[in-house]
Structure 1
Amino acid sequence: MPETIWENEIKQIRLPDEEVRKASLTRWNHLAKPLHGMGALETMLARIAGIQGRLHPSLQKKGIVVLCADNGIVKEGVSQTGAEVTAVVAGNFLTGQTSVCKMAKVAGADILPYDIGILTDVEGLTKAEYKISCGTKDFLEEPAMTREEVVRAILTGMKIVKERKAQGYEILATGEMGIGNTTTSSAVACALTGEAAGVMTGRGAGLSDEGLIRKKEVITEGLARRNPDPSDPVDILAKVGGLDIAGLTGVFLGCARYQVPAVLDGFISSVAALAAVRIEPKVKEYLFASHRSKEPAHNRILEELGLEAVLDLGMALGEGTGACALFPLLDMAMTVYEEMSSFDDIQVEQYKEYTS
């Protein structure tokens, strides 16, 4: 039954309004500045206009959805810290004591954290309607999740977007917290792209050389044992993924379903975005790549998505920090778009478009 509900929801996904997007680009061209002078910010804002279906879009209410979950694969020595750190950091989202909380305050965005699969409950955060289970299994020993758990996580992600859209959120960024989730995301990335673990695996939060070797071995062996179906993203997520990745897959599907611009953070959320696009290709039209992270496979995933990151800052923090960094740029672009004089206003001849 859950999978039927999810499939019915996906059928409702529609493409953004192309006429509005084109009209927005025309408006940009009439502003008293060099044509395309603001580069990618112009095309991004035009895409947002198309998604919202209005020539004058709004980004007043911004949210960062942070999904928190633990991963059984941590027991294989693939991370520098233990699983207990997930719950500690997740709790800090409630008190504003994380990096993304500090950044979001400056960017005028709300932090929206969820316990979708932390090993222990976190007071003030854990709610039964969003929590799928207390972490995943060790995918070296058995599948990380059941198919039903993955579908429930995807539906939960979609539910979160529906609720936040009803509360007036106009754009959502994505973040995650979960020790071991660069291992699960690398494994999912390998299965989705066919690349080897050696290509798709980085140091995460700071592994030693020995730790990185172990991480690659675990992913390679885990994929061989679980043998996920490369044509079935749900099977991949169930066998080697994580609850945060599955939930974020649902968030991206939900953003497309409910017509909300979705800002990717780094490698982990980008892998979830790729899973969502493999499930429903139209999701791509709702995605915005914020930055290029230090994880070696992030660029490969962005290429697979056909997206260009706006920022390249060498960030490797997670939590939605890179996605949050894009918000002020979008706000500045919005101010130019809405308040800049046109060529007609200043009685100056408009720039002409020349093609090479």
Structure 2
Amino acid sequence: MRKNGLATLSIPELDEEMGRQVKKYVDSLTVPQGSLGRLEELAIDLAKMTGEAFPEVSRPGVIVFAADHGITDEGVSAYPKEVTEQMALNFLNDGAAINVFSRAISAYFDIVDIGIDAEIEAAELTARKVRRGTRNFYKEDAMTREEVNQALEVGYERAEVMIDKGAKCLILGEMGIGNTTTSSAIISVVSGKSVESLVGQGTGLKSEGIIHKQRIIEEALSLRNPNPKDPIDILMKIGGLEIAGMAGAMLAAASKRIPILLDGFITTTAGVIATLISARAADYMFVGHQSAEPGHRTAIEWLGKEPILQLGMRIGEGTGAAVAFPILQAATLVVKEMATFESAGVSNK
């Protein structure tokens, strides 16, 4: 591994003293104490993460990792794997939902081919393909240990590039037909909950398709038997290249005190993997929204978080996080721009 990458990973503790100072300051603002609700909590959490009294989250950086999944050979998705390539091209043509929302928040944007099962040549595409999709984990391990480590490093490196560019908040997104199957399998292993309680529609499965998907995951888990305490073993046996990439990116952000805004089920699953690799990683995460996928709530609870929004979204791509970003930004502006009772000459008695 690279000298400055995961091999020397060190995630700092939260700055609790800065959090106390900002809590005291927030209590002095010209509103009744606690009346700004979770905005106050978000501002204090950002202060702890960044170590700054007046934290900045603008501009955000959006990184979308795209990869295919061999498990789609088992008919677990409503769409063929070719859609991963087609949607990646849509991202490059600025036509996807995440393009729209990224523009709305003036985000830096990067689309990374970490494992699409096709060759795409485009100047705007960051080509870091580890392999052309994972193997079918119903029949064999999804990746080798070397491939897992490479995917983690790709994610780490892309986050470093984004942060060096000036991103103050990292939003991760994904594209990969079959990745709700992979995520359901991972969360079942880590949480100990039944596959049945975690599997939803994904990209639009009907009831009989959901039952088939559950059976495939259950049988695959019995065959692969991943170690729930070993994130590398989990990724090797049932993981996804884009999930490993996002986990690596989160570890890079946390090591540099950059807040991470999680999206839906797939991204939060990557957050779980990152936290299994380094427990402090979760300290730097916010959950942008709770998606309509049933497994997402379990993943959120495992991280000990509460979502900022609940809009019933299940698009992926980083969209829910991008939509939630203005709320995170509003929390920073409360501290930065509001007057205190003392500065405004307002009585707080």
Structure 2 length-normalised TM: 0.95
- Within 2, Cα distance between the matches of 1:69 and 1:242? 8
CA RMSD of aligned residues (A): 1.6
Q: Could you say which residue in structure 2 is the equivalent of 1:268?
A: 266
Report the alpha carbon displacement of residue 341 of structure 1 after superposing the two structures with TM: 1.4
What is the alpha-carbon distance in structure 1 between the residues aligned to residue 214 and residue 103 of structure 2? 37
Structure 2 Cα separation of the partners of residues 271 and 154 of structure 1: 14
CA distance in 2 between counterparts of 1:77 and 1:4 reads 41
AA partner of residue 318 (structure 2): G
Label 1:106 to 1:6 Cα distance change in 2 as closer, same or farther (>3 A): closer
**Alpha-carbon distance, 1:7 to partner:** 5.1
Is 1:294 the counterpart of 2:292? The answer is yes
Query: Which segments of 5 or more consecutive residues in structure 2 lack a partner in the other structure?
Result: none
Alpha-carbon distance in 2 for matches of 1:185, 1:121: 25
**1:343 aligns to 2:341 (yes or no):** yes
Give 1:3 shift.
9.3
Give the 3-state SS of the residue equivalent to 2:42 in structure 1.
helix
- Once the two structures are superposed, the pairs formed by residues 170-181 of structure 1 within 5 Å of their partners are 170-181=168-179
1:3 and 1:151 in contact (8 A); partners too:
no
Aligned identity (percent) is 39
Deviations 1:35-59 (A, max 9, x none): 1222222221222222222111112
Counterpart CA distance in 2 for 1:328 and 1:175 is 17
Q: Which moved more, 1:220-229 or 1:52-61?
A: 52-61
Q: Which letter maps to 2:107?
A: A
Cα deviation 1:259-293 (Å, max 9, x = unaligned):
21001001111111111111111111100011111
TM-superposed CA distance for 1:5, in Å, is: 7.4
Tell me the amino acid that sits aligned with residue 9 of structure 1: T
Match of 1:90 among 83, 88, 111: 88
- Unaligned 5+ runs, structure 1: 352-356
- 1:26-78 Cα distance to aligned partner (Å, 9 max, x none): 22111101212222222212222222221111122111111100000111101
In the other structure, the counterpart of 2:325 is 327
Hey, what does 1:167 align to over in structure 2? Answer: 165
Aligned residues, how many?
348
Q: Is contact 2:288-2:321 (8 Å) kept? A: yes
Name the SS for the 1:172 alignment partner.
Answer: strand
2:8 is matched with 9
Distance 1:77 1:30, change over 3 A: same
Q: 1:336 and 1:324 mapped to 2: Cα distance?
A: 20
CA distance in 2, matches of 1:75, 1:325: 33
The CA distance in 2 between the partners of 1:336 and 1:171, in whole Å, is 17
Measure, in 1, the Cα distance between the counterparts of 2:311 and 2:197: 21
Aligned residue in 1 for 2:190: 192
How far residue 108 of structure 1 moved from its aligned partner, in angstroms, is 2.0
CA contact (8 A) 2:110 2:126 kept: no
Distance 1:143-1:40 versus aligned 2 partners, 3 A rule? same
Question: Residues 135 and 99 of structure 1: is their aligned pair in 2 closer, same or farther, counting only changes over 3 Å?
Answer: same
The answer to whether the 8 Å contact 1:192/1:233 transfers is no
Quickly say closer, same or farther: Cα 1:111–1:247, change in 2 above 3 A. same
Task: Tell me the amino acid that sits aligned with residue 116 of structure 2.
Answer: I
TM-score, normalization by structure 1: 0.94
SS at match of 1:228: coil
Is contact 2:42-2:331 (8 Å) kept?
Answer: no
CA distance in 1 between counterparts of 2:49 and 2:87 reads 33
User: Is 1:53 aligned to 2:51, yes or no?
Assistant: yes
Change (3 A) 1:226 1:5: farther
